[in-house]
Structure 1
Amino acid sequence: MSFKGPCPVVTLALLALLWLSAVPASASAAADSAPNIVFILADDLGWNDVSWHNDQVVSPNMQQLVDTGVQLEQSYVQPLCTPSRSAFLTGLYPFRLGRQGRPLGSQTPTGLSLNHTLLPERLSRLGYSTHMIGKWHLGFCNWAYTPTERGFDTQYGFMLGYENHFKHTRQNGYDFRDQREPDFTASGTYSTHLFGDRAVRIIEEHQGSDQPFFLYLALQNVHKPLEVPDEYLAHYPEDLDEDRRLLLGMVTALDEAVGGCAALKDTGRYDNTVIVFSSDNGGSNRPLRGNKGSMWEGGTRAAGFVHSPLLQETPRVHSGLLHITDWYNTLLALAGESFLPDNDGFNQWDSLVDPSVESPRTTFIYNLDAEQEEITLGAIRLRNHKFVMGEENLVQENEIGPWLFNLEDDPNEAVNLLEFEPELATALELMLLEEIPNVVPRDEPANDPAGDPSNWDGVWTPGWCGVP
C-alpha cells in the first residue's frame, strides 16, 4: 500500500531544487583529437564476481585496468539486459521507451524504438567508425532494428538474449552473424574467444588510421547457459559448488577477452583511447540485497571501471553517482559534440577525468512501471537516500513496501527508515509518481510464430515483422 503522510512545503521545495539542479550540462571537447572509445558490457556479471570485490576471482587483466584506472563504486544499470542496453544506446530511461518490462523474447515482433537516434549514429556523424561485437538483444524481427541499420558499420555476434556458447544455437535455430550473413564457421568455437579475437582484429585494422573508432563489445559471459572451456576451471578448486565454479571460469575467460585491449598499445592507439567496463545488471551480488530483475542494489549496482591515459591521478575510486544513461552524453562529449541532446543522461567526463570535480548527478530513477493492477513499481535515488515501492520483499512474502534506505549507512538495504523519515519518504514518492504521465506503455506484443527458425532454414533471421 502506498505510504501517505504529512508533506511539508519546505521538504518538497528542497527536493524540487535538488532535482532541477541536476539538469544535464552542455558538452565540452575532452581532448585535442577525438579519442577512440571501447565500451565493454558484461552480461549478468555480479558485484561479487570481480576480483576488486572478491579476491577469489581470477581476472588479472581487468584488475590491472582497475589498478591503473578509475574504479566505479556508484555506477548503476537497469535490472535486466534489454532495458540496460536500451538506456545505454539512447540516453533515456527505459520507461520512456516502453522497455521497462521483461527482456525481448526470441519471437517478439518489435525492437528498440526507431524514433530515437542511437549513440553509434551520433558518433558516425562525428567521423567515427563504429563496431558492434557480441550480444544485441534489442530486436531483430525487421532488419530496421538490427545493428547495421542503427549506426554500426560492422556487426559480429548474435541477435537474441542468450544461446549456447559453443554451438551458437537457441532452441531450433542458429544465431551468429558476420554483418548480415549467418557465420556457420563460428560453430564449435567458444563465443567469448570469437568476440575477443574480433575485437583485436578491429583494433589492429585501425593501426595507422587517423579515424577514431567506437567499439561496443557486448560479451555473452557470464549469462547462462553456464559453459566454459575446461582450461578456465583449473583456476578454481574442484570442491567449489559446480555452478559457481563454472561461472567463475566464465569470468576468467571474459577477462582474457578484455585483455585483448592490449592490442591498443601495439597499434599506437592506446594513448588516446578510453576503455569503459560495466555489467548490464546484477548477478552474484553478495552482500548486496537482491539480484537480477529487481530494483534492489543487487540488481542495479554494477561492477565497473574506466581506464585511459587521459584520466588524472589514477588509480582511484570514484564514488559519484553514475547511471547507464549517462554514457550517451559522456561519450558524445568526449567525441567532441558541442551540443548534447536533452535526455536523462549527464556528461560525466569532467568528474571522471578529474577527482576534484563532483558528479553532476544527484538523483536517478531505478525503474518505473505503472501497468500492474493497484501497484506502481518504482524506485528513486536522491543523493544517499533510496525510496522503493511495489518491489518484492525478499524476506517477508507479499510485502511490497514502500521502503526508504540511507545507502551510505546501509548499502545492503537492511533498515527501512520509513517510520523515522516519513516526510522524506512522501516527498520521494511524489517525485516518482510525477513521472507516471511520462511512462510509455510496455512494448510487449504477443509472440509471432512467423519468427520461428523453421521458417528460415534453421536460422534466427529478420524479416518477419513490420515497423511502426
Structure 2
Amino acid sequence: MIASSVSIASLLVATACFAVGDSTAYQSKTTKPNIMFVVADDLGWNDIGYNNHDIFTPTLDSLAREGVILNQSYVQPVCTPTRASFMSGYFPYRLGLQHKVLDRSEPAGLPLNFTLLPQKLKEQGYTTYMVGKWHLGFCKYNYTPDGRGFDHFYGYYNAAEGYYNHSVGGYLDLREDLNPDWNENGTYSTDIFVHKAIQYLIGHNQSNPFYMYLPFQSVHAPIAVPKKYYDMYSFIHDQSRRIKSGMITAMDDAVKAVVVALQKLGFWDNTLFIFTTDNGGPANPDNGGNNWPLRGAKTTLWEGGTRGVAFVRGNLVEKTGYVNNEMIHAVDWFPSLLELVGGKRDPDMDGMNVWNTLTRGDPSPRKEFVYNIDEVDPAGEALRMGDYKLILGHAGKPDGWVPPPSVDGLWHEIVLMKDHEEETDYCYAPPANATYLFNIKDDPTEHFNLADKMPEKVKEMTVRLQELKKKLVPAIQVPAEPEKADPRKFGGVWSPGWC
C-alpha cells in the first residue's frame, strides 16, 4: 500500500525544540545506564544499508559504524519464539514456544512461571516502557505487557495488522495500556510509535533509569509505505521490493527521531542503544524482503532465517567502529543487560552474559546454541557448535538462495492498494528430510554439505542435540477459541479476558 502520512520529519523538527538553550539542564540524574532496545520485524540480512548500498538507512548505518556491528547475532526463525527469547533468556524449545507463532485466538502465551526482563529491571529501579508489537499472548491480563513488567505500554498484541487501520480481521488492535486507541485510523504505525516513544521520554522521571523496548511493526506484512518513501526508490521496478525498501527508510527516519530526542533530553550519553531484527526476511514474492547472500529466509533453520542484522551503540561500549564476529544469541540479551545493572540471572537460564564480548570484543563465552528444536510435524532441529552447524530433518523452504530483484527488471509485478492481513504459506513448505553439516566460518552461505565427509562430527553433534532435548517442553498446541476471543464481545477490539 502507498499512502500519505504524517511525516516523521515533523517529529524531527519537534524534537529539535525540546531543549532550546542549555541542554545540560536535562542531563540524566541516574548512574545506571538507560537501555533502548529497538527491534525491526522481518528485516532481512540484505535489507539494511551497511549490507546493501541500494537501501537508504543513513541513521542505522551511522549508529552501527560508530558502535559495534554484530555479524553473528542469532535469532529464531519466526517472531514469537525470538521475542520469547529476548524476554525470558530461555530457548523457545524450553518454553513450549518452538513451533510457529501464537494465533490471535489461541488461549496461550509465554508461560507465566518465567520472570521476564522488564520485571527484573524494575527490581533494579528501572522504569519500563514498551511501544510496538507484543505477540507473546494476550488472552488474559497476566499475559499482556502490562501484566509482565511494563509500567507503560502502547502498541498491539497480534501480528500482521494494517499499518493505517491498525486492525486485524476487521477489528482494532491498538491500545495504551488497557485502553483502546480509536484515534489513529489513517496514521502510519511507524509515525505513531515513534511519537509515543518520544512522549514517554519527555515525561520520564530522570531520577530513574529507563528501559524502553521499541519493537516496530516495520517491516512485517502487510507491506505499506507513505508515498514520500516509495518515491525515493524509483530505480527499483519490482513493486514489493520498492514498497519494502521505502518502509525500511521510514523506520530509519523514526530511529533518527528517537536518537535526536535522546540527545536533546540529555539521555544519549548514558544510553545503551541496541538494534536487532527478530528473524530473517520472508521470501514470499509479495513481501519484498531479502537475505542475500544467505541461504533461506524467515521460518527456516538456514542462516537467512536465523542470522540477524544487529548492532550496539553507546558510551558504555569501549571498543567501537568494527565488525564483531563473535557468536551471540537472542537469549543472551537478558542476562547481559540484567547483570550489567546489578541483577542476577536464573542459573538454569540458557542466556549467557556476553557484555565483555559486546563492549570490549572479548571472545564470546557462547560456544554453542540451539537454532531450534521443533518436534511437531514437520519436525526439524539444528545446533551450532563452534564453527559447525548441524541440521536434522526439515530445515524449511526456501532451501536455496533468493537474490534481490534486479533494479532494472521485474522480479514480479504487484500493486498493493489496501491493507492485506495474512501472509501466504510460501515459506512453510518443508524440504525433504536430510542431514546437513556446514562449517559456517568457511561457508556462511551454506553451499557445501559436509555430512558425508565428516560422520564423526555429525555423530558428536547429534549426541549433543539428544542431550539438550531432554529439557524440551512440548510445543504449546491448544485449539484456537475464536468464539471466546471474538472482538465483538469487547467492543470491536482484540482484548484480554477470555481464557
Q: Which residue of structure 1 lines up, in the alignment, with residue 69 of structure 2?
A: 71
| Letter paired with 2:448 | V
Q: Which residue of structure 2 lines up, in the alignment, with residue 308 of structure 1?
A: 314
TM-score by length of 1: 0.89
Q: Following TM superposition, by how much is the alpha carbon of 1:200 offset from its aligned partner in structure 2, in angstroms?
A: 1.5
Q: Following TM superposition, by how much is the alpha carbon of 1:256 offset from its aligned partner in structure 2, in angstroms?
A: 1.1
RMSD of the TM alignment (CA)?
Answer: 1.6
Q: 3-state DSSP class of the match of 1:220?
A: coil
Query: Please, which runs of 5 or more residues in structure 2 have no aligned partner?
Result: 1-29, 282-289, 401-428
Q: Following TM superposition, by how much is the alpha carbon of 1:68 offset from its aligned partner in structure 2, in angstroms?
A: 0.7
Query: Please, which runs of 5 or more residues in structure 1 have no aligned partner?
Result: 1-31
Superposition pairs of residues 117-196 of structure 1, within 5 angstroms? 117-196=115-194
Q: Following TM superposition, by how much is the alpha carbon of 1:408 offset from its aligned partner in structure 2, in angstroms?
A: 1.1
| Letter paired with 1:177 | R
Q: Which residue of structure 2 lines up, in the alignment, with residue 27 of structure 1?
A: none
Query: For the Cα contact (< 8 Å) 2:68–2:312, is it kept in 1?
Result: yes
Distance 1:339 1:170 in 2: 37
Q: Which residue of structure 2 lines up, in the alignment, with residue 344 of structure 1?
A: 350
Superposition pairs of residues 231-310 of structure 1, within 5 angstroms? 231-237=228-234, 239-259=236-256, 260-283=258-281, 284-310=290-316
Q: 37-46 or 183-192: which moved more?
A: 183-192
Q: Does 1:367 align with 2:368?
A: no
Q: Which residue of structure 1 lines up, in the alignment, with residue 385 of structure 2?
A: 382
- Residue deviations 1:50-81 (CA, integer Å, cap 9, x gap): 00100110011101101211001000000000
Q: Which residue of structure 2 lines up, in the alignment, with residue 325 of structure 1?
A: 331
Q: Following TM superposition, by how much is the alpha carbon of 1:148 offset from its aligned partner in structure 2, in angstroms?
A: 0.7
Distance 1:339 1:296 in 2: 30
Q: Which residue of structure 2 lines up, in the alignment, with residue 86 of structure 1?
A: 84
Q: Following TM superposition, by how much is the alpha carbon of 1:436 offset from its aligned partner in structure 2, in angstroms?
A: 2.2
Shift in alpha-carbon separation, 1:157–1:56, aligned structure 2, 3 A: same
Q: Which residue of structure 2 lines up, in the alignment, with residue 459 of structure 1?
A: 493
Q: Which residue of structure 1 lines up, in the alignment, with residue 423 of structure 2?
A: none
Q: Which residue of structure 1 lines up, in the alignment, with residue 13 of structure 2?
A: none
Q: Does 1:443 align with 2:482?
A: no
Q: 411-420 or 396-405: which moved more?
A: 396-405
- Residue deviations 1:388-409 (CA, integer Å, cap 9, x gap): 0112472698532110000111
Q: Which residue of structure 2 lines up, in the alignment, with residue 414 of structure 1?
A: 447
Query: For the Cα contact (< 8 Å) 1:370–1:436, is it kept in 2?
Result: no
Q: 3-state DSSP class of the match of 1:435?
A: helix
Distance 2:446 2:236 in 1: 32
Aligned length: 430
- Residue deviations 1:225-284 (CA, integer Å, cap 9, x gap): 010100111221255200000000000011111112221111111111100000000002
Shift in alpha-carbon separation, 1:211–1:385, aligned structure 2, 3 A: same
- Residue deviations 1:20-64 (CA, integer Å, cap 9, x gap): xxxxxxxxxxxx921000000110000000001001100111011
Q: Following TM superposition, by how much is the alpha carbon of 1:285 offset from its aligned partner in structure 2, in angstroms?
A: 0.5
Distance 2:146 2:341 in 1: 20
Distance 2:179 2:347 in 1: 34
Shift in alpha-carbon separation, 1:397–1:444, aligned structure 2, 3 A: closer
Query: For the Cα contact (< 8 Å) 1:172–1:453, is it kept in 2?
Result: no
| Letter paired with 2:368 | T
Query: For the Cα contact (< 8 Å) 2:99–2:376, is it kept in 1?
Result: no
| Letter paired with 2:459 | T
Q: Does 1:216 align with 2:218?
A: no
Query: For the Cα contact (< 8 Å) 2:375–2:475, is it kept in 1?
Result: no
Q: 262-271 or 331-340: which moved more?
A: 331-340
Distance 2:458 2:319 in 1: 38
Distance 1:305 1:160 in 2: 26
Q: 3-state DSSP class of the match of 2:38?
A: strand
- Residue deviations 1:323-381 (CA, integer Å, cap 9, x gap): 000000011012222565430011111111113x1111111000002233xx7511000
Query: For the Cα contact (< 8 Å) 1:332–1:340, is it kept in 2?
Result: no
Shift in alpha-carbon separation, 1:156–1:278, aligned structure 2, 3 A: same
Q: 3-state DSSP class of the match of 2:225?
A: coil
Q: Does 1:230 align with 2:236?
A: no
Shift in alpha-carbon separation, 1:397–1:453, aligned structure 2, 3 A: closer
Q: 3-state DSSP class of the match of 1:381?
A: strand
Distance 2:52 2:220 in 1: 19
Aligned-pair identity in percent equals 42
Query: For the Cα contact (< 8 Å) 1:369–1:439, is it kept in 2?
Result: no
Q: Which residue of structure 1 lines up, in the alignment, with residue 16 of structure 2?
A: none
